[in-house]
Amino acid sequence: MSEKKTLLGRPVETEGVPNLYEGSPVVKWKAPEPGIDNLGLHSWDTFAIPGVGEFDVEFDGYVRVVRSPATDEEWAGAEVYTNLIEMHMTGASEELGTITVTLNPEYLSAGQIRTPFDPYAGEGPAAKACRMAVGCMFDIPKLGTRLFNREPVILTIDDVRSIPPAGAPGKGQIYRMLPLYDVRTPWDEPTAYLTSLKFNMGGYLPAERFQ
């Protein structure tokens, strides 16, 4: 079902699923047909390097997310499973130089959108919760290093009113510090830690961006 070494969630079929680009509708309170969402992403990450310091880096780029069929036609009962099939984010800081974040090819980065167990109890439809467990590679040429995480970064979006949750703010659920290892010395102590991550899910990008 998946050739990845480590599955961080449930695999989603990509074959025959259409790519969705700029101009695709984002409809509130409606479970959509399967699709590959090509979306913008913006994030604000903080890295701590022991003995060196903490560094805030702002990233911009895109993700490609494949969505499963919804488990129910009605919004209320619908669950949707997702796999992150591509990510490309770049950021820069004076001290660390340019950083490029991509997916770790050994991990299946995966998630889901479903109604939480403590949903909004007022009138009208209940918003859903979105979560994605992600394995990344952080290329930092200025430091001559390429880092990866073993604990997944858990990206969450609350108050999800449409699928995809285009335009919604989200958070990386990092408790204090998430260790990052150097690919050249994977058995050594972590080289750095991710200590904070906030993001903003963008909208559909033009197809030209991916050609």
Residues lying near its own copies in the complex (CB under 8 A) are found at 1, 5-11, 48, 54, 71, 79, 81, 110, 112, 116-118, 129, 131, 133, 150-152, 154, 156, 173, 175-177, 179, 181, 187-190, 193, 195
Q: Which is nearer to its own copies, 43 or 109 (CB)?
A: 109
Q: Least distance from C-beta 82 to its own copies, angstroms?
A: 12
Torsion of CA 17, 21, 27, 32, to 10 degrees: 0
d(CA 37, CA 193): 30
Closest approach of Cβ 34 to its own copies, in Å?
15
Comparison of 134 and 140: residue with beta carbon closer to its own copies: 134
Min separation Cβ 129 and its own copies, Å = 6
- Quickly tell me which residue has 């200025």 as its tokens: 142
Rounded to whole angstroms, the Cα distance separating 110 from 90 reads: 21
- For residues 60 and 79, which CB has a smaller minimum distance to its own copies in the complex? 79
In the complex with its own copies, which residue's Cβ is closer, 173 or 200?
173
For the purposes of burial, counting CB atoms within 10 Å of the CB of 107, is it exposed (0-12), middle (13-18) or buried (19 or more)? buried
Neighbours of 211 (CB within 10 A): 5
What span, in angstroms and rounded, lies between the C-alpha atoms of 32 and 78? 10
| Least gap, CB of 27 to its own copies (angstroms) | 23
- In angstroms, rounded to a whole number, what is the distance separating the alpha carbons of residues 172 and 184? 26
Smallest separation (angstroms) from its own copies to the CB of 24 = 26
Give the residue with the Cβ less far from its own copies, 22 or 73: 73
Q: Residue 59 in contact with residue 87, Cβ under 8 Å? A: no
